[in-house]
A = this chain, B = another copy of it.
C-alpha cells in the first residue's frame, strides 16, 4: 500500500523480458517497421505477462498527435448539444479518437479559457460552437497555429475554418409559409435575438427586406427571424414588429415574460412560432397557464423537435434538426483535416425536416 501506482510497466521491461531491444519491442507493440515472427510472439507474450499498457502521452509527445479532439459546447445538458456530442463521440470512437469536452455556457471568457486548455493538452482538432461571431481572436490564433477547427451551429466572420450549420432561414421560412398558407396573418414569434451589432430590430427588418444582409454571418435566432421576414415578404405581407417577442437573453424567466406579454395582449397573434427548445417549453407552459387551446385558440410551430411534442394531445408540429448527423458531419470534417486533407474550406449546411402534427389549423372566426 506504500506506492501509489503499481502501473509502472514500460516498454523497456517488456523488451527486457522478451530479450530484445526496446526498439524491437516498440516496433511490435506500435505496429511499425519490420519484426520477425519469432520476436513478435516473444514480445507479445511478455507484454501480456506483464500487463503492459502503452503510455499514449509519450507516444503523442514524439508523434505530435494525440488522437484527441476537443469540443467546446454551449451546455451539454441541453438536448441540442447532447445529441451533437453523441454524433461526434461515435465517429471519433470509430477512428480511435478520444473526445475532450468543455462547455462555455455561451460565455466568451469561458470559451477562451476552454480553448486554451484544450490547446495546451495538444488536441489534434477543435470542434466549437463559437459564442462570438465577430471577434474571436483566440480562434483565429488557434487556426493560425495550425490546429484544424470546425465550427458548429454558427460561424465566426472571416475565420477560415470549416463549418456545419443548419439552414435556419429555410427552416423558419418553411414553417411561416406553412402558417400563412393555413390563413394566419398575425403570426407571433419568440426568440432569443440577443446581440446584433449593426443596430436595432427595425433596422434589421428593413435591411433584410432591402436584401443587404448575408444570413450566413448571423446567429441562429437572427437567421430564424430572417426566415420569418423572408416568408412574409414572399407572400407580400408587411411585418408587424409588435408580433416579435425579443427575449434578449437565454433565460426561462425572460422568455416567460416575453411570451406571456405576447399571448395575453388583447389583439394577440393567431399563431406562434418559437425559435428554439427553451422558447418552446416556456411557450407550452404559458399556453397551459393561459388556458389556451391548441390549435383552436392558437396554432403553434416549434423549432427543435423535443420528445414530448409527439405525445401531447394534439401533437406539436415541429422543425427537427438532424443533430447527431451534425455532430457526425463535424467529426468527419475534423478527422479529414487531421488526416491532412487539404482543399477548400467546407461549409456544410444541413436541412431540417418538418414534423407535421396537429398544432396547426386555420385561424378561427372572429379572431382572424
Q: Determine whether the beta carbon of A56 is less than 8 Å from that of B122.
A: yes
Q: From residue A216, how far is it (CB to closest CB) to chain B in Å?
A: 25
Q: From residue A286, how far is it (CB to closest CB) to chain B in Å?
A: 9
A311–B290 alpha-carbon span in the complex (Å):
12
Q: Determine whether the beta carbon of B86 is less than 8 Å from that of A75.
A: yes
Q: Determine whether the beta carbon of A120 is less than 8 Å from that of B60.
A: no
Copies of this chain, whole number: 2
Cβ-based interface call for A207 (8 A): no
Q: Determine whether the beta carbon of B61 is less than 8 Å from that of A146.
A: no
Contact with B along A73-90 (1 / 0, CB 8 A): 001111100110110010
Q: Determine whether the beta carbon of B281 is less than 8 Å from that of A307.
A: yes
Query: A120's contact among B54, B82, B103, B285, by CB below 8 Å, is which?
Result: B54
Chain B residues within 8 Å of A102, by CB: 89, 93, 98-99
CB within 8 Å of B: which A331-368 residues: 340
Q: Determine whether the beta carbon of B307 is less than 8 Å from that of A288.
A: no
8 contacts between A and B (CB under 8 A): A4-B340, A57-B121, A58-B61, A76-B89, A78-B82, A96-B117, A98-B100, A312-B312
A residues lining the B interface (CB < 8 Å): 4-7, 51, 53-58, 60-61, 64, 66, 68, 75-79, 82-83, 85-86, 89, 93, 96, 98-103, 114, 116-122, 141, 144-147, 281, 284-285, 288, 306-308, 310-313, 324, 340
